[in-house]
Structure 1
C-alpha cells in the first residue's frame, strides 16, 4: 500500500514538475535563511550559558538615582570591600574590559615575533566564578605568579603550535597601559609569562560579547587592580557568585539595610545587583537584536512556507474530481490523508536535503568579523538546529494534510465531480497566503531600498568635500605598528610616494575616521580650567588641498602657530573666532582661517574641529595615498607587498581605500544592507515563483472557460485582465498594509542619524513600481501561453 501511495505521489509531482521544483527551491532557501537567523537569535538567547554557574552569577553595578542612570563599570576596590560583609556570596571577582595590546612573543628559542593580542585583567577568584577549563599548565601557579598569563587555546596553537609549547613562554608588552606606574617607559618593556592555557570561551558571554579573547592577566604590575588610581576610576565589572542556597534578593536586602553607596567623582552612587546578562542596557540591546534576527528569519521562512503550502493546497483542490472518484470507490479518510501526506513529505524531504547541502557548502563562509565584533557558525550545531526545524515542518505538513482531508471529505460527490461552488471557493485560502507573501515582500524590498539609500547618503556625507570617486581612489594605510620605529615608517612612506601611480601622500597621527588627536583646547595660557571642548586634528601642510577642503574665511596656515577651525565650531562659539588665541600644553596658537565643516560622523552632531600643525618626524600613525584614476588596485597590491617586506610574518597587512574606511565607520548600514538585500531578493524570487505557480494552476483549471471566451470574441487583453485582476488587488491591498508599517520603522530609524535620505513620494513609488513590474512580467508570461492556445484543441482535450 505504501508503494502505491509513493507511486501516486511521484506521478502527481511529475505532472506539475515545474511548480514542484519551484516549491522545493523556495522552501529550501526559506529553511536555510531561517536556520541562519534563528542560529543568531538562539546564540544571543543562550548568552552566558557557557558558564557552569551562570544561574548563580550576578553583576554589581552603580546607579545614579538623581539622574536615573547606571554607571559604566565599578571601581576595583568595591569588590574588595564587599568581601568583608556580603553574606551568601561564595566568591567576588573583578574583570577589566577587553583591551588590545602589542606584545613581543618568544615563539621559540631565539625567535621573537610581534603580536596584537586582546587581554583582560582579573584576579584569582575568576576561576571560582567562571570555571575556565585549563588544558595545559596550572591556574594555581598562575594565581601565585606575578604578571602571569592564562592564554586561550586557539591563540596558543596559533602562536606556538600547541598548548603545551605555550607554557613558560615570555611575552613582552611593548606599550604602557594607562594604569602603568610612572616608571614604566612609553614603549612598555614589561615581561609576562604564560602559566596556563584554557579552552576558548564561547563568544556569547557578557565578559567580551562577540569578541575573541586571547588571554587573561593575573597579578599584573601594570594593571588596574594594582594601580594607585584604582579608587578614582572604573574600567571593569564586579561579579559575585551566590551560594547554592542563596538568592539575589538576599544580596539586594543587604545593600538596602546598609544603605550601601560608593563615592566616585564627588558623587554617591547606589549599588545594585543583576543576574549576569540582565543589566538593563545590555539586556535591552541583546533582546532587540535577538528579536530582529528571529523576526527576519521567521518572515523569510513564512514566505517559503506560504509558497509551498499555497501550491500544495491548490494542487489538492484541483484534484477534487479525482478524490471524489476515489471516495465513490471506497477510499477512506485515513487513506486520503496518507496519500496527501506522502506527497507533501516527498517535497519536504527534497527541500531538506537541498537545505542541508547548502549548510555543508557554506561551512565557514557565513563567519564574519567587523571591528569589535566577530561571529562564527558551528556546522554541527547548525545541522542539529536544521533537523529540529525539519521535524516541526513535518508535523506542520501533517496538520495541513489533515485539514485538507477534512475539507475534501466534506465536499459532496456531485460537487466534486462537477467542480461546483465549493471548488471555486477553495482558492480563497491560497490567495490569502499569496497576499501575505506580497506583504512580506514589500517589507523586505522597502527596507532593502532604505538601507541602500541611507548608505549612499552617509557615504556622501562623511568627508563630503571629496567625491565618491575620489574616496575610492585614496588608499588608507594604517602605520600604527609598534614593531616599526618612526624612521622606518618614514622610509616606508618614501617608497610609497615613489610609486608612479601615486599623485600625493598625506600623513597623520590617527585615521581621520577613527578618532582625533585630542578634544580640548585652553582659552587662557596656563589656566587648565579655561578648557573648551573641540575636536583637535593635527594635519600636515597639504591637508586642505589633499582633502579638497576650501577656506571660507581668513588665510591658510603659514607658521607653526597658525591653526584653522571649521565653520561648525565657529557657529557653535557664536562669535568671530578669527585671531582668537588658543593653547595646549605645548605651544600658543592663533586661529588664522575658517574652513568648510569636517564631517566624520553621521550618528551625532559634530562639536567642530580645529586643525593644528603636524610634524611627521614625531610620530606617523596613518598614511593616505591619492592614486591616478584606474590604478588604485595596482598601487594597493604594490603597497601590500612593501608592507609584507617590512613587517614581521606575524603582523597582518591592512590596506584599503578611504571608502572602505567609511563603510567600516557605518557598520549598521553596510552590514545590514547586504543581509536585508539577500532576504529581499529571496523574498521576491519566492513570491514570484508562488505567483507563477498560482497563475499556472488558475490557467490550467480555467482553460475551457478561456477557450469559450475566445470563441465568443474575447481578445488577449480581456483574457489577461480576467486573470490579472486578482494580482492587481493583492498588490494594492498588501502595499496599503505594508507601507505604513515600513514608514513607522523608518521614522524610528531616522532618530539615529543627523542626516537621512529622502523617504518621500519617489521612494515609495519606486518600490511599488519595481515589485509591480516584476510581478506583471511573471503573470503576463504565463497568461499569454494560455491565451494563445487554439480553443478547438482545448475543448477537444476537455
Structure 2
C-alpha cells in the first residue's frame, strides 16, 4: 500500500520547520535554502529535476503545515524586539542589494520632498505676511468703493487722503488710533553728493500701532517733532557708517515744495530692518506734516493717494464700525458731495469699509500698493503648489510602480515567509518598513537639497527664505505629516499586493503580473499626463512672455533715455534742450510729466470720459516716433496750442463715439476750461501689456509741470551721450540728483514677474520629466530582466536588435502616447483660463501641443530604448544558461 506521506525532503526542510516559531532566524534559513537550491540545479542542469525537487519539498511542507492542526504552528502577530530588528536588517540589505532600484526611489523621493518643503516654506511666508505685529488682528486699512445708481460697484481702492484717518478716529469710538502712511522721494545731501531716496511720512502713532522695534530711540516720541527722522539700521550704516547715530543730522529737501531748500533733520531713532514678510518696508521715516503747498488736501474727502490704517478695540464689531464711518463721511462731506455732483456730474455713491491688514498681501481686488511692497498674486501660489504636488505625486508613483514591478523577483521570499508562518500583517509591516526606511533616507537628502537650491529659489520667487524657518513648530508638524503621508502613499499599495501572494504559486513560479496590472499601467499614464500637462504649460508661458517683450509697442523705445527732473519749467526745458543738442549724438530732447495722471472730461455736451492725461511739447511725439493719424501735431507756430488745443489718441475717439474728431470740444468742467481737438495720435502702449490701451489726451498747458524728459541718441554713442547728459544736467541743476534709464530696459523690467515664473515653471517641468524618466528607466530595466529569456530565444531564432528594441519599447510608448489623450484637454482648459488674464495674448497654438507630444514621446523613447538596446545586445547564451 502506498504511503500517504510524500517522499522525504532534503535536510533543510526539517531544519526550517523546527524553527517555524522563530522568524528572526529567517536570514540563516534563506541562506541554507539558496545553497541547497543552487546545488540541486547545478548538479542536474535539468528543469525536470528542479521541479521534482520543489514538488517533494512543498508536498512535505503542505502535509506538515497545512493538513496538520494549525494550533501546533501559531502565527500570532507579535512585534517583538527581535522581529523589528530583523525587519530593519532585511529592509536595509534588500535596499543595499538592489542599488539601482533604491537609488531611483531615493532620488525621486528626495526631489519630490524637497519641492514640497520649498513650497511649504513659500506658503508659510505668504500666509505669515504682516502677522508679526502684536496688534495685527485688530489693524485694518481704510478702503473705499464707488456704487453706481443701479447699485453695482464700479471701482474700489485701498487708498485715502489726509482727512479720513483723523475724522474717523474722532467720530468712531471703536477706533483707538490711526496711522497714515505716504511714500515719496526726497533729495538727501551728503557732503557734495545729492541722492534721491524713498522716504515715508507717517503719524507719530506709527510705532504704537505697528511692532517695528527700535535699536535706539523712544518709539513714543521719535516722530513727534517736525524735523525728526527715524532711519533703518541699513540706512544708518549707509549714511553715517554706524548704527549709533542718535542726535546726528541729515540734510533733506521736501519734494512737495518746489522752493524748498535742504534742511537738517535730527535722527531720533534707529529701527531694526523690516522683516522680509512685511508689507511695510522703510529706510527713512519722517513725521506727517502737511505743508502750505498741500493745505487744500487737508479737508478734501476725494483725494486718494496714501494708505491709512486704524487700530480697533478687540471687542469692536466690524460691521458697526463701517456703518459709523459712513455716517461720519456723509455728515462731514455733505456739502462737498453736493458740490462734486453739481460741478462734475458725479452720480456714483462713495462708501468706506475696512480691510484686515493681514489680507492685503494676497488680495486680488485691493492689493498692497502705493508705498506698500511685495504684493503677491495668489494665482502663482496655486500654480507653484500644484507643481510641487505633481512632483511629489510622480515620485510616489515611481515608488509604487517599481515596487510592484520588482515583486516577481521577491515572490519566492514572500512564499517562504508565508510557509514558515509569517502572517499577512507581518509582511505588510515589513514592506511598509522598507518604504519608511527609503523615506527617511530621502528626507535627509531632501533637506540637503533644499539648502543647496534655496538661494536660487529665493531669487526666482523674490523671497528671503532661510533653512532656519524649517524649525518652526508648524512647519515641523507639516514636514512630519508630509513624511508619514509619503511613506504610506508610496508603500501601502505595494505592501498589500506583495503580502497577498499565494505561496504555492510563488514557489512554483506560476505567479504572473504582466498584461493585467491595470493600476500599474494607469499610474504610468497618470505620470506622463502630468508631465505632458506641465510641458504644454511651460511652452505656453514661454510663448506668452516672448510675445510680451517682443510685441510692437507702437513707439520706438530703442536708444531712448529717460531722465527725471521734478518741477521742470518751460524755460528750463528749453535751456536743457539747447545745451544737450550741442552734442551731435543727441537726436531729440522732449519733456513730459512724470508718473501717470488720470482725470476725466465732459464730451458730447455732458458725457464723462476718463483718460490718461499727458503734458508734453511739440517734440515729444516725433522723439518717440508716434504718428499723428488725423489733424496735426502741436506747433510753436500756433500760440493757442499751449492754451486751448489738445491731441487725443484713437482709443479716446472710439470711446467718445466721434466720427469726425477734429474740432471736437473737451470740457474740463472742474476748471471751467474747454479745449479743441486738433489731432488724433495713433494708439501706442504707454503702459505695460497687462493693461489695454485706454483713452489718452495730450496738452501743453503751462500750469501743468514737467517731471522728466526723454533723450533720443544715435546708436553706438551710449557712453559719450550719457556722459554729456550727466555733465549738462549736474551743471544746470546742481541740487537735483541725476538718474536715468533706457526705456527698452525699463519695458523689459515690467515683465520681471512673468520672467521669474517662467523659470520656475521650466525648473518644475524639468524636474517632473526627470523623475518620470528615471521611473520609466527603472520599469524598463525590470521589464528587460523579466523578459531576458524571451529575448534570448528570439535572438537564437534570428530576431534583429532593432526588432527586439522595438518589442521592448512599444508597450511603454503606447502608455506615454495614451497619456497625451488626457493631457491635451486638461492643458487646453488650463491655459485658456490663464491667458484670459492678459488683454494682449497669444492664441492657443496647435504646434505647442505637437511640440509637447514629440518631446514627451522622444524623452520616453530615449529613456526606454537605452535599456532595451542593452538587453537586445546581450549574448543569448548567457540569458538561456540559467534555465
Say whether the fold is shared (TM-score over 0.5). yes
Q: Does 1:431 align with 2:546?
A: no
Instruction: Answer yes or no: is the 8 Å Cα contact 1:567–1:597 preserved in 2.
Output: no
> Is the CA contact (8 Å cut-off) linking 1:37 and 1:293 kept in structure 2?
yes
Q: Per-residue displacement from partner, 1:731-755 (whole Å, max 9, x unpaired)?
A: 3443232322322223323333332
Q: Map 1:285-364 onto structure 2 (within 5 A).
A: 288-316=379-407, 318-328=409-419, 340=431, 343-344=434-435, 347-362=438-453, 364=455
Aligned to 2:208: 128
Partner SS, residue 244 of structure 2? helix
Provide the rounded CA distance (Å) in 2 between the counterparts of 1:173 and 1:236: 20
Match of 1:604 in 2: 691
Deviations 1:441-475 (A, max 9, x none): 12221111111111222223342566xxxx6xx35
Which sections of structure 1, spanning at least 5 residues, go unmatched?
Answer: 177-183
Change (3 A) 1:465 1:197: closer
Alignment partners' CA distance in 1, 2:384 and 2:567:
41
What TM-score, normalized by structure 2, do the two folds share? Answer: 0.72
In the other structure, the counterpart of 2:284 is 215
Alpha-carbon separation, structure 1, partners of 2:105 and 2:617: 60
Q: Per the alignment, do residues 187 and 12 of structure 1 end up closer, same or farther by CA in structure 2, a change over 3 Å counting?
A: farther
Structure 2 gaps, min length 5: 1-81, 342-347, 368-374
Aligned partners of 2:587 and 2:712 also within 8 Å: yes
- Tell me the SS of whatever aligns to 2:538: helix
CA contact (8 A) 2:189 2:262 kept: no
Q: Is the 8 A contact 2:217 2:269 kept in 1?
A: yes
- The aligned counterpart of 1:158 is 238
Within 5 Å, give how 1:73-88 maps onto structure 2: 73-84=159-170, 86-88=172-174
Distance 1:318 1:488 in 2: 88
Asked whether 1:46 is paired with 2:116, we answer no
> What pairs with 1:560-599 in structure 2 (closer than 5 Å)?
561=638, 568-569=651-652, 574-577=658-661, 591=678, 597=684
| Partner in structure 1 of residue 484 of structure 2 | 395
Q: For the structure 1 residues 153 and 594, does the alpha-carbon distance in structure 2 shift closer, same or farther, using more than 3 Å as the test? A: closer
Q: Please show how residues 502-521 of structure 1 align to structure 2 within 5 Å.
A: 505-509=587-591
| SS of 2:216 mapped into structure 1 | strand
> For each residue in 1:642-686, what CA deviation from the matched residue of structure 2 results, as whole angstroms up to 9, or x when unmatched?
9999999x989775561x323222344323222212212222222
Deviation of 1:693 after TM superposition, in Å, equals: 1.7
Would the alpha carbon gap of residues 481 and 356 (structure 1) be closer, same or farther in structure 2, given more than 3 Å must change?
A: farther
422-431 or 769-778: which moved more? 422-431
Matched, 1:378 2:459: no
2:518 maps to 1:449: no
| Residue aligned with 1:163, SS | coil
Cα pair 1:367 1:376 within 8 Å, conserved: yes
Residues of 2 paired with 1:162 and 1:312: CA distance? 61
Give the 3-state SS of the residue equivalent to 2:412 in structure 1: helix
For 1:555 and 1:245, locate their aligned partners in 2 and report how far apart those are by CA, in whole Å.
64
Q: Which residue in the other structure is 2:68 paired with?
A: none
CA contact (8 A) 2:412 2:506 kept: yes
SS of 2:387's equivalent in the other structure is helix
Counterpart position of 2:614: 536
Deviation by residue 1:334-359 (Cα, 9 ceiling, x = unmatched): 77567645654554455444433344
Q: Deviations over 1:168-215 (max 9, x none)?
A: 433413411xxxxxxx3355646543312223333434x54xxx3223
Please tell me whether residue 410 in structure 1 is matched to residue 500 in structure 2: yes
Q: Note the 1:489-500 alignment, pairs <5 A.
A: none
Alpha-carbon offset, residue 220 of structure 1: 2.0
1:34-63 Cα shifts (integer Å, max 9, x gaps): 333332222221233111122233444445
Quickly say closer, same or farther: Cα 1:652–1:201, change in 2 above 3 A: farther
1:437 counterpart SS class: helix
Shift in alpha-carbon separation, 1:52–1:6, aligned structure 2, 3 A: same
Give the corresponding residue for 2:178: 93
Cα shift readout 1:766-787 (whole Å, capped 9, x = no counterpart): 2222222222222223222223
The answer to whether the 8 A contact 2:832-2:844 is kept is no
Cα 1:520–1:48, aligned 2, differ >3 Å: closer, same or farther?
Answer: closer
Alignment of 1:621-660 (within 5 A): 621-628=709-716, 658=744, 660=745
Are 1:458 and 2:552 an aligned pair? no
CA contact (8 A) 1:604 1:754 kept: yes
Query: What is the RMSD computed on CA atoms of the aligned residues?
Result: 4.9
Distance 1:754 1:140 in 2: 49
Distance (Å, rounded) in 1 between the aligned partners of 2:683 and 2:324: 57
Q: 1:137 Cα deviation (Å)?
A: 0.7
Is residue 32 of structure 1 aligned with residue 102 of structure 2? no
2:303 aligned partner:
233
Report the Cα offset of residue 317 of structure 1: 5.4
Taking the aligned partners of 2:300 and 2:460, their CA distance within structure 1 comes to: 33
Q: Is the 8 A contact 1:24 1:351 kept in 2?
A: yes
* Contact 1:663 1:670 survives alignment (8 Å): no
The CA distance in 1 between the partners of 2:112 and 2:827, in whole Å, is 22
Q: Is the 8 A contact 1:477 1:622 kept in 2?
A: yes
Greater gyration radius: 2
Contact 1:341 1:397 in 2 (8 A): no
- Cα distance in 1, alignment partners of residues 787 and 721 from structure 2: 62
Aligned residue pairs: how many?
756
1:201 aligns with 2:287: no
**1:73 and 1:543 mapped to 2: Cα distance?**
33
Q: Which secondary structure state, in structure 1, belongs to the residue aligned with residue 220 of structure 2?
A: helix
1:270-305 residue CA offsets vs partner (Å, 9 max, x unmatched): 444454334773489765454343333322332333
Residue 104 of structure 1 pairs with residue 188 of structure 2? yes
Cα distance in 2 between the residues matched to 1:381 and 1:325: 48
CA distance in 2 between counterparts of 1:681 and 1:704 reads 36
C-alpha deviation, 1:411, in angstroms: 0.9
| Alignment check: 8 A CA contact 1:707 1:794 kept | yes
The answer to whether the 8 Å contact 1:150/1:215 transfers is: yes
**Correspondences of 1:672-751 after superposition (within 5 Å):** 672-711=757-796, 715-716=800-801, 719-751=804-836
* 1:543-593 deviations in Å (ceiling 9; x for gaps): 64x656566567777646488765555555633446779999999987468
Q: Distance in 1 between matches of 2:721 and 2:416?
A: 73
TM-score between both structures, scaled by the size of structure 1: 0.78
Aligned counterpart, 1:181: none
Distance in 1 separating the partners of 2:637 and 2:756? 42
Q: Which residue of 1 aligns with 2:881?
A: 796
CA contact (8 A) 1:416 1:423 kept: no
Question: What is the DSSP-based 3-state SS (H/G/I as helix, E as strand, rest coil) of the residue aligned with 1:197?
Answer: strand
Q: State the secondary structure of the residue aligned to 2:133.
A: coil
Question: Secondary structure in 1 aligned to 2:844?
Answer: coil
